[in-house]
Amino acid sequence: MNANMNINWYPGHMKKTREAIQKNLSLVDVVFELLDARIPYSSQNPVIDSIVKDKPRIIILNKSDLANDKSNSLWQNHYRDSDVPSILFNSLSGKGVENILKLASEVLKDKRKSYEDRGVINRPIRAMILGIPNVGKSTLINTLSGRKGTRTGNKPGITKVNQWIKIKGSLELLDTPGILWPKFEEEVVGLNLAFTGAIKDEILDTETLALKLIEVLMNIAPESLMKRYNIELQNATPLEIMESIANRRGCILKRGEFDYTKTSNIVLDEFRKGVIANITLELPKSRVSK
Ligand SMILES: Nc1nc2c(ncn2[C@@H]2O[C@H](COP(=O)(O)OP(=O)(O)O)[C@@H](O)[C@H]2O)c(=O)[nH]1
Ligand SMILES: [Mg+2]
């Protein structure tokens, strides 16, 4: 488990984080902002624009392997329209890394040109990664650097010195990602973060969370739900759906009662792993889940 997940954000901590990130930002040419492709809106820090300011930025829609292809395209169009270049990525496979490098050098084309005009050639592009906990920052750093195993940053007694990891194509990556706090205000956002496993400190008990997820899936991916669990949905309530799933999966206790906890864990786990289907929970502007 990632140590970062247990951070409880409070105003003083946010302020410190922000200052530390801004210090690091002054060292880089470009920011890689990591979002979860299933919930690009919900997985974005609420004040990211004011933190990044004018620094060139690339949005990496990570975990795109778990998201829906059509929705992935819609989000890409959305970002294109708003002039922030974005790229779909899967940090686990690392496929298409060169596209990140290409995009970074495109974004910095003018800057590089002005360096070259002044006789500075082959100056490396420096980048840092920003994102909320669990969005895949460490995985991306490991993938980009070809390094195995995760580094944990917050161990007491270890003086943390920023290091530059050399990546292909004269890109250098700061080895310490900026860990940003998630949005707290909207209930939908909290649910989306919990559904995808971004926050594990339960905002709700497992069964209520699973019922909420079933309700969302009944709306946005009914076919996938029926197919995965071999059930019918007609006029059923989320609770009845959960009970059908319990029946199908043999989640029955000794006295013949439904094992709601076990069923809930199955549904949440299978959703998070993308085995129910590749499902995106929100679309640009009009969000899908209520
Ligand atoms: N399917 C999938 N899982 C990913 C991807 N990137 C990260 N993960 C998983 O997401 C979890 C959190 O990743 P981690 O790198 O620790 O997130 P961090 O807190 O931002 O550093 C881990 O279980 C990773 O294996 C991705 O692109 N696709
Ligand atoms: Mg990490």
Tally of domains within the chain: 2
Predicted pLDDT of residue 285: 79
User: Is 55 part of a structural domain of the chain?
Assistant: yes
Question: 3 falls in which pLDDT band (50, 70, 90)?
Answer: very low
How far is the centre of ligand 2, averaged over its atoms, from the C-alpha of 152 (Å)? 7
Whether residue 280 lies inside any domain: the answer is no
- Tell whether 219 and 159 lie within a shared domain: no
Pair 137, 212 in one domain: no
Where among 179, 212, 240 does a domain terminate?
Answer: 179
Pair (17, 87) in one structural domain: yes
**Is the entire prediction scored with pTM above 0.85?**
yes
CATH number of the domain encompassing residue 229 = 1.10.1580.10
Q: Is the residue at 196 inside a domain?
A: no
Query: Which residues approach ligand 1 with their CB closer than 6 A?
Result: 2, 4, 62-63, 65-66, 90-92, 131, 133-139
Residue 27 lies in a domain: yes
Pocket test residue of 95, 134, 180 for ligand 1, highest count of atoms within 8 A of CB: 134
Q: Are residues 132 and 253 in the same domain?
A: no
The least confident of 142-146, 188-192, 228-232 is 142-146
Range of the domain at 149: 3-179
Q: Mutate which of 5, 139, 175, 271 to test ligand 1's pocket (most atoms within 8 Å of Cβ)?
A: 139
- Indicate if the pLDDT at residue 249 is higher than 60: yes
List pLDDT tens digits, range 155-213.
444 556 779 998 877 789 999 999 999 998 899 999 999 999 998 766 789 999 999 99
CA of 91 to the centre of ligand 1 (A): 7
Residues, CB-to-ion distance under 5 Å, ligand 2? 137-138
43 within some domain = yes
How far is ligand 2, taken at its centre, from the CA of residue 214, in Å? Answer: 29
Q: How far is the CA of 40 from the centre of ligand 1 (A)?
A: 15
Shared domain for 50 and 98, answered yes or no, is: yes
Q: How far is the CA of 136 from the centre of ligand 1 (A)?
A: 4
187 domain residue, yes or no? no
pLDDT in tens, 252-281: 999 999 999 999 999 999 999 999 999 999
Distance CA 110, CA 178 (A): 26
